[in-house]
Amino acid sequence: MVARKMAGCKMNGKPTQTRGFTLIEMMVAISIIVILLAVAMPIYSHSITRAKEQNLRKNLQTLNHLIYQYAQDKQKSPQSLSDLVSSKYIDKIPDDITGSNTWVTEPAEGTIMSVYQTEDTGIIGVHSGSSATATDGTPYAKWEPRSQVSGLRSQVSGLRSQVSGLRSQVSGLRSQVSGLRSQKRLESPRSTSQ
């Protein structure tokens, strides 16, 4: 009986704490934490990647729209992205998905983006310079909004054809006015002689 009483006491006679975590309980708790982290990390990583991709789409749209706006305002395409900064269209060139300025510009090569534009040099678009692949399997470098650029090209082409049509209408009206003037001149001497 003395041995039983001594089992829960230290040498000085005070009771000790016998309650604690066993090695098995610690292993179970750590295993649960590891499983939760294993589930959460890919989701977190994927959400970070999607946010970067969304930012890339926004930057592409912004830069390509500003290039188009520059061409409409200045009646010429910008020669580089730095023209957008120097003309105060944008404060600074945003970083590509790579985290640095690796944008690849699309040269005009004879494409005019404004009705009154006379020069066909400069840039008409931009796309990512990254060689990485997106979550949907397409390379980031193919994410240039070609549909937007080609849409703008078709708009400019449509505007040009409208301007051409208006010019021919004006020319037709001029010839009608000229005909009316000459007809009036012919009638004027008759009325004065009578």
Band of pLDDT at residue 191, cut at 50, 70 and 90? low
2 in any annotated domain: no
pTM, two decimals, is 0.59
Band of pLDDT at residue 1, cut at 50, 70 and 90? very low
81 in any annotated domain: yes
Average pLDDT value for the chain: 82
pLDDT of 75 above 80: yes
Q: Which domain holds residue 64?
A: 24-187
Residue-wise DSSP of the chain: -HHHHHHTB-TTS-B-------HHHHHHHHHHHHHHHHHHHHHHHHHHHHHHHHHHHHHHHHHHHHHHHHHHHHSS--SSTHHHHHTTS-SSPPP-TTSS---EEEE-TT---STT-----SEEEEE-----B-TTS-BGGG-S-HHHHHHHHHHHHHHHHHHHHHHHHHHHHHHHHHHHHHHHHHHHHHHHH-
3 in any annotated domain: no
133 in any annotated domain: yes
Looking at residue 37, what is its pLDDT? 94
135 in any annotated domain: yes
How many structural domains are present in the chain? 1
pLDDT tens by residue, 96-136:
888 888 899 888 887 777 777 777 788 988 989 888 888 88
Which has more pLDDT, 114 or 30?
A: 30
Looking at residue 113, what is its pLDDT? 77
19 in any annotated domain: no
